[in-house]
Structure 1
Amino acid sequence: MTTEHSAPSALPVVVVGAGPIGLASAANLVSRGIRTVVLEAGAHAGAAISDWGHVSLFSPWRYSIDPVGRELLERTDWVSPDAEILPTGADLVREYLQPLAATAELAPVIHYNSRVIGMSRQGIDSTKTIGRERRPLLVRVDSPDGVYDILASAIIDASGTWCHNNPIGASGLPATGETEASAWLTGPLPDVLGRDRARFAGKHTLVIGMGHSAANTLLALAELRESDPATEITWAIRGRSARRLYGGGAADELPGRGALGTRLKAAVESGAITLLTDFTVTELTPQPDGRLTVTSSNPDGDHSVTVDALAAATGFRPDIGILRELHLSLDPVLEAPIELAPLIDPNVHSCGTVEPHGASVLAHPEKNVYIVGMKSYGRAPTFLMATGYEQVRSVVAAIAGDAESAGRVNLMLPESGVCCSTGGGC
């Protein structure tokens, strides 16, 4: 690792993140004989996933393992999981990511506890346009050994969006009192039936959100309520209908995803979960009795609910601050690569399908810089791992100069069973 000038061809490709897509990037790179460095902020591969290890994925193992990663693992004594089983986050880390990170090919190139804090071109900032491509890319890293720079021939940012939550308040901004209410906030995916059980049992929890994170938390609370009937559950959404999250049911080609919506709908209809629609949070107010009042202000008046805990599953947004010195082309709405945004726009699409896309769609004006995985979707919530695996196969081919392979994108995702194109009340 150096900050000295080197010929770009002699420099490594730097991969940011050792989650599923980051490791898939590394597997594709080393399989092509490309020098690789992986920088992971956590202490092990899949560290962010471990935060929600208790949650079951709705994609079975057959969609959750990168093909090139599988090839590396099959050279070891690794035993492939049952293709049709739904792994939990913990299963994914234990049975796939950590064994893949430990392979002879990947173990030497991964650096843990190494947080990327900035990216640029060596010796110039974003205002300089002439001769940029002749300068190596630069990645600044904060590690236990101090802050240092790595020069790179290419960067693949697979750092994801975990820990970069959207605020609870309306208009994309924090609600009044949101910072002061941090003691009541549980995170988007608390372990309701495990380590966090005491925080919810016999108490009133408000869950805010319209995605699968909200659904998982709501269903866990409903299960807790069966053993502790004093547990109270309120679900608040900004829209007028939860139909989009209920999904396609039996028509969904991912049974786990379909079952999630079906079970949630049943819990609401049974009265186990109280659904509040048109609920736009504007203020959070701690009460003298230790509870929290959550207020929604709409043209038809103010409404409020007082609770013991608040699980805000309001989605995530990409951290583009670390990329500020690079020349990116991002959609102003989704903060996704500008050519990808129309393919994934949640205002138009609510199903899990997406048109095939690879390096050409993910490219930026800054040559050899790619954002992949969940972070490539910006604020859109419909990413699937299989999408990311195909992204990085194409991206690595482009970096390697294999234009034919980079342009041959093949992606077949399971239908969700429901796809709304009205942009509104679905």
Structure 2
Amino acid sequence: MVNQSGYQDPLGVLRSVPEGRRAKIAELINLIAAKGAMSRAEAMGELGWSRTLVTRVATVLLDEGLLAEDVPAGSGRRGRPTAQLRLVVGRAATIGIDFGYRSVRTILASVDHTILASDERELGDDYGPDSGLARARQMIDGMLKDVGVDWSDIVGAGIAISGPIDYENNAPSLDSLLPHWGGDVVARAREHLPCPIVLGNDTRLACYAELLWGAGRDFDNFLYVKLHSGVGGAFVLNRRIVSGASGVAGEVGHMVVVPGGERCRCGGRGCLETVVGVPAIMRGLSIAYGHEPDWREVLQRLRSGDAATQEAFGDAHEVIGRATASLCNILNPAAVILGGALSRASNDIEGQVAEGIRSHALPACAETPVRLGALGRSAAALGAVGAVLMKGIV
């Protein structure tokens, strides 16, 4: 079955439901698919329904075997534990794809948020959409075969790419950031993937994954900063990612920190990315090393206590701290969450960025806590899974 937005209904949820009740049934199912198991009271708050309406709709789905209601083991709460409504999904699943700087990561997940399989493959530095999507299709076919899921069970695939996106045309809005990815990425993806496609910015999707499943679960408002080959960001306000007027809010990597500095791939000069992006750090270290290192060598030298490497990372952390302090003054987040390769490289980045905030932020923001993202390299691909679930499965 396919709904009006074109999504398949592999659960068969709506087949036996009277037409007049389908909208409410779909609302509750899509809410639980997007946000995971929840109590009836939480569903009331999210949907703005009365307790009677939640009970009526949940009862239909419980009777049909499409929802189950149970108490999570080890809830750790005082008093009577709260029962949670969760989906009973059969084989319905979704796909997340993250196209990184030199690699592609794929995740296959059940619509109840269970990870079924994942894969990661290296690609060339200058790969384009066709070669990347072809490799992703091979990886997904292998995962489907391994877990016994068919393409007919897939409700959609989310795709994460770097840089701002023109969502009206499903295309990168800055060709300089993705020189080989011009044009409609969704249309190109449909040539390789026989399912609905959702496109998103990798940093925003990683932020969404941290909000849903990772370090952002305990914060209603936080700033997410991705420190990788590129530097990006996203701001969460009242559990929602702020989009901005044209959907590109949070591009913190292109705030100017060195006026007239090095030319950035966005076309500007002195952007934060040109100072603390992984390629910038490696270029600086090539002088100290006497050759161009790869990231593995840099990490090995960092962990062995190499003085030049430690100094380079310390300098980067100091710049990140100063830039983040300014963002804290503007946004006043409850926390700062760091993601990306640079955040995982050293054990002291949390403390050094927090010290930068204490030194440079206003007193009201100076103690903003800094946390590492909890989802590691899989964050953007997981966020792509979440984007499909947020779009709706029925």
Asked if Structure 1 and Structure 2 have the same fold, meaning a TM-score greater than 0.5 normalized by the shorter chain, the answer is no
Task: Provide the TM-score with structure 2 as the length reference.
Answer: 0.27
Q: Higher helix proportion, which one?
A: 2
Task: Provide the TM-score with structure 1 as the length reference.
Answer: 0.25
